[in-house]
Amino acid sequence: MDFLPKDPAILVSSINMLLRDKEFDSLESLSYNFNKTPKEIQDYLLSYGYFYSQEQRQFRPVGCMIK
């Protein structure tokens, strides 16, 4: 993958796939590879209803937040 998709649903799917398939060992390494910061990606996806779960190493819908 040469760039991160701009569509939020495709972006979530792509990031989760790259982390799941261990192409990157962390959100940080993935982000920096695409010239972004983890905060930029997290803030962008949070505005579309997705949060990053450190435990699961994936973006999840906000309704799935564990309290």
So what's the pLDDT on residue 44? 98
Model confidence at 57: pLDDT above 60 = yes
pTM comes to: 0.87
| Residue range 60-66: mean pLDDT, rounded | 79
Q: Give, in order, the Cα–Cα distances in Å from 62 to each of 4, 47, 58.
A: 21, 10, 12
In angstroms, rounded to a whole number, what is the distance separating the alpha carbons of residues 67 and 2? 36
So what's the pLDDT on residue 63? 82
pLDDT digits (tens, 9 = 90+) for 29-48: 999 999 999 999 999 999 99
- Rg for the chain (alpha carbons), in Å? 11
In angstroms, rounded to a whole number, what is the distance separating the alpha carbons of residues 54 and 26? 9
